[in-house]
A and B are shown apart, each in its own frame.
Chain A
Amino acid sequence: MTHSTSTSATSSAGSAPYVPEVGKCDDQDFAAAGPGRRRSPLRRVRDWLSAVVFTVPALVLFGMLVLVPMGYAIYVSFFNWGGFGSPSDSVGLNNYTRLFKDPVFLGDLGRGALLIGFSILVQLPFALAMAVLLNQKLRGRAVYRMLFFAPYILSEVITGVLFSMIFAPGEGLADKVLDKLGLGGLGGDWFAGQHSVLPTLFIVMTWKYFGFHMMLYLAGLQGIPAELQEAARIDGAGTWQRFWHITLPLLAPTLRISAFLSVVYSIQLFDLVWVITTGGPDHASETMAISMVQYGFKRYQMGYASALSVVMFLISLVFALAYQRFVLRRDTEGAITTMRGKR
């Protein structure tokens, strides 16, 4: 939190050994913490100095490429602006009030929640099951691992084109196969139906991403000592009990990270949907990112689209912070470097 003062102090002081502000601050700390446990002021200034030297280039880049555009988007979101020239028609919070009355945006939120729910409740457990299965001694398991992971390497665009052909109503592979199996009734509209588009999309998302999560879990499973499993077996624990009481708790850090990645991906979902449906039919598969592009680059309402992007950013940010604070806390404990060795 004292980054800003330290930056200005040290950058102006150059190689000067003492910086009064930091020193003063340190005195107080010193008194509070008691003697003997603190490092010398000189040493601490040197710590600050090296921290600044190493972080400033990164901070400048980060500022130019991330913070400035973000700030500009926030600024633009208060204007009625077509995207060219400089914004001049200030409308205050209008874009935001309009946003929360926009049925398309509210629908986006609902669909986003649905996809997150699907991912956590179906996709991740499926990935876990496959990981546990492929962690057994199994003939050709390397091949299976590779096969299941392969979709993740495909680009989203290729995946999209591929599946729009597979799920082409009546003509596509999916319908043909179902017909041959005598299950023609199960086929149908796929991406073309307002009610079938989200489930179909979810099938594609799962196909593409379960392999990635499976790999994460496999890595996690490798880290569980075989001795624990063995000890439990000797104590008479069944397969299910061992999974439930040993594998799962020890895999928890990996599970928490993979759930996090899955949620963030769902919030920002764009490419796949854009290629397959562009958000249709009639907004039934539209996500926040799709709406943002529709308003920004189809209707040229850049102010409104920026407001949408700001809200999308806030949702991601709040989620990420809350997740870090409440869920990932014990996993990251000690992994975050602080100047004083403790927070």
Chain B
Amino acid sequence: MRPFGTTSNFSRRGFLAASAATGLGAAGLSACGSSDDSGSGKKTIEWWNITTTQPAKKLWAQRAKEFEAAHPDVKIKVVTLENEAYKSKMTAQIASGKLPDIFHTWGGGVLKQQLDAGLVEDLTDRVSSWTGNYVPASMAAYKFDDKLYAVPFDIGAVGFWYNKALFKKAGITAPPTTWSGYLDAIRALKKAGVTPIALAGKEKWPGMYYWAYLSMRVAGLDAMQKASDDADFTGDDFVKAGQHLKDLVALQPFQKGFLGGAYSDPNGEAALMGNGKAAMELMGQWAPIVEADSGKGIGKDLGFFSFPAVEGGKGALTEVFGGGGGHALRKGAPQEALDFLKFFAEKEFAEKLIKQTGLIPVSKDTADALTDPNLTAVSEMLNKSTGFQLYLDQAYAPAVGQEINDSVAALIAGSKSPEQVTRSVTQVAKSEKS
């Protein structure tokens, strides 16, 4: 969302300003949270997370049990919610000023809102003793005014996964670093009779990645920040970004029937890559696993490169689009909640998560636990990054994120112009703000 360490002013929704102004935030402090369970004399810590998949869910619950065993006077109430439900539920929690003691956050705009409402604990000094070796990119989404408001446990990013053998077949020696070079590569692949790109058009979000990255490269991170602050995406640079995407679509780089293509089906985007039938896909760090799952996987032929820079654009090749996960504490959360964060981040457990659930290390201490070459490539891109843009659907309100997905899907299908995309997104952003 921003170059490291700089400030962002992010207040998207009117009700927040209102709730902060009326002192709802302050009132919330006394109203909410970790109550002493008077009956048993145990202190209850409420922990909201979105880890719904195995084996992570099991490991997390175990960790809570281990903490309880070490602290007999504490009970951890684990609440696991599905992604979208969690987002909406948290929106309501902010409005009422009652947040759980420990809660999942993606950082960015939503965390800033909670912060502006006075609901989030400043962790800067309280965790500095054990987060010194964390990778800067992993903390970028949770830092405002040089203060840290959450501790990351996961970080990931999107880039191009490509088939080295197919690139070689088309005579492409090195992955492209510029947009024009990228379009040339597409033409070369087509000439060689290779499907250049696999795209899950039915799912919409994989198409959105192209628009988001192009917007980052053309308009720059600051402009993306400003656009969401002002609820105005109609700037020339966003239109230009759409135009670049239209240029790409005009080359017909996608597989046959991509508009109906799913992501992880036997004929979907991941399977096409995994079976060596398409040369590349723009996807997050989970791509190699899904490719091997839905298709056969292409092993050592799989490579990774950053989204190319656009000539004359305001963004840089080293700025990364991605996201991770972290834990924040509500303002006034008991010391035990902080203790749990530290307990959760302990090296041994963090390494277990990296090995068993495919997380990318957030700390250099645990970097050795990462042995997978594909994840290492993503990890390296993150380590070298100079800026970070959080996933748009996590940074924005659900309706805005969905509208971007919808409009970009329409652009790729040829039924919306780049201008119409920016207008539709702006319209929804404005209505969500009012």
Contact = CB atoms under 8 A, between A and B. Distances in A.
Interface of A: 82-85, 164-165, 168-172, 188-194, 197, 277-278, 280-283, 294, 297-301
27 contacts: A84-B92, A85-B92, A85-B95, A164-B260, A168-B257, A169-B256, A169-B257, A172-B267, A188-B257, A190-B260, A191-B257, A192-B260, A192-B261, A193-B257, A193-B260, A277-B260, A280-B202, A280-B260, A281-B201, A281-B259, A281-B260, A281-B413, A282-B409, A282-B415, A283-B410, A298-B84, A300-B87
Contacts of B402: 294, 298-299
Contacts of A294: 402
Nearest to A302: B88
Nearest to A98: B431
Which residue of B202, B259, B265, B266 has the most chain A CB atoms within 10 A of its CB atom?
Answer: B259
B313 interface: no
Contacts of A194: 259, 413, 415
A189 B92 contact: no
Name which of B87, B202, B258, B415 has the most chain A CB atoms within 10 A of its CB.
B202
B259 A282 contact: yes
A300 B84 contact: yes
B71 interface: no
Main secondary structure of the interface of A (DSSP, over half): loop
B96 interface: yes
Contacts of A170: 256-257
Contact of B84 (A169, A171, A282, A297): A297
B21 interface: no
Given A85-B92, A280-B409, A301 B399 contact: yes
Contacts of A297: 84
Interface in B227-267: 256-262, 265-267
Interface of B: 84, 87-89, 91-92, 95-96, 201-202, 204, 256-262, 265-267, 398-399, 402-403, 409-410, 413, 415
A197 B260 contact: yes
Contacts of B257: 168-170, 188-193
Q: Lowest 6 CB-CB distances: which A-B pairs, in order?
A: A169-B257, A192-B260, A192-B257, A84-B92, A281-B259, A299-B399
Given A280-B260, A299-B399, 18 more contacts: A82-B88, A84-B88, A84-B92, A165-B266, A169-B257, A170-B256, A172-B267, A188-B257, A189-B257, A192-B259, A197-B260, A277-B260, A281-B413, A294-B402, A298-B84, A299-B403, A300-B84, A300-B88
Contacts of B399: 299-301
A165 B257 CA distance: 13
B202 A281 contact: yes
Contacts of B260: 164, 169, 189-193, 197, 277, 280-281
Given A280-B202, A298-B398, A193 B91 contact: no
Nearest to B268: A168
Nearest to A169: B257
Nearest to A285: B260
A171 B92 CA distance: 46
B201 A192 contact: yes
B115 to A, nearest CB: 20
Given A281-B202, A282-B413, A192 B258 contact: yes
A280 B259 contact: yes
A301 B410 CA distance: 21
B297 to A, nearest CB: 19
A329 B20 CA distance: 61
Nearest to B260: A192
B398 A280 contact: no
Nearest to B401: A299
Contacts of B262: 164
Contacts of B204: 280
Nearest to A299: B399
B50 to A, nearest CB: 16
